[in-house]
Structure 1
């Protein structure tokens, strides 16, 4: 199996208001997010790629326009926007447009990652 990945970055705020008031994530706060998209294929296309990296440009545009420097609870209309939730959201978005999508990872900090892989 061949696999490629590409990283995308954005900054945004969110709040997990359903958590107890003393939990730090219950307060409004922000992160510098990293989204890593993985595409997989058993064979390469005629150009020798799983998919040309340039074909992921629509995801960059989507992230830049809809997510960068925004409040994620408002963007997604959900009060529980966690890294796990974002990984699934971006996976679904990518899979619809890029059938080779095999996983999406989202990081809120340099030491933490959430992944969605069916």
Structure 2
């Protein structure tokens, strides 16, 4: 993967891990406001997952890089995002103040953060996913920061 500079979020954690990965997936946004994006089309998504924490696990990892890849790449690569009814769909999420959960780049970035954090919450050292950078096209990307930019250190 090409060397990339990502926006940074300030924090006071001792460790910060970044994992770059990509996955090819199709999606559609089932609303008239989406224009052409209402039709099925695909992207090669490039993601950067930023994880931070103060302590390492018993193996000396903040989190194993391969676990992050498996969580995202293995789930979404060469699939139709809309088929993940448990994550995306035409339903409205009450948690997000009535926002639809269509697989827009914004929602996919938020969902990646939630998937990663759910995994991290099961680890002994409990690091935090503090940023997702998700590039949908060469000229379009989203940065999602769970909980904003506040420090959790």
Query: TM-score, normalised on structure 2?
Result: 0.63
| Residue 5 of structure 1: aligned partner | 18
TM score, norm. by length of structure 1: 0.79
TM-fit CA distance, 1:77: 4.3
Stretches of structure 1 that go unaligned for 5 or more consecutive residues are none
Using a 3 Å threshold, how does the CA distance of structure 1 residues 46 and 85 change in structure 2: closer, same or farther?
closer
Q: Distance in 2 between matches of 1:3 and 1:66?
A: 24
Q: Aligned to 2:32, what secondary structure does the other structure show?
A: coil
Instruction: Give the deviation of 1:20 after TM superposition.
Output: 4.3
Greater than 6 Å deviation, 4+ residue runs: none
Of 117, 128, 135, 1:95 maps to 117
User: Which structure dedicates a bigger proportion of its chain to helix?
Assistant: 1
Which structure carries more strand by proportion?
1
* Number of residue-to-residue matches in the alignment: 113
Q: Secondary structure at 2:51's aligned position in 1?
A: strand
Using the alignment, how far apart are the partners of 1:17 and 1:93 within structure 2? 23
1:43-98 deviation per Cα after TM superposition (whole angstroms, max 9, x unaligned)? 46499x7725xx13122123333211111001234141011111111101111222
Any gaps of 5 or more consecutive residues in structure 2?
1-11, 91-101, 121-126, 148-153
RMSD over equivalenced CA pairs, Å: 2.4
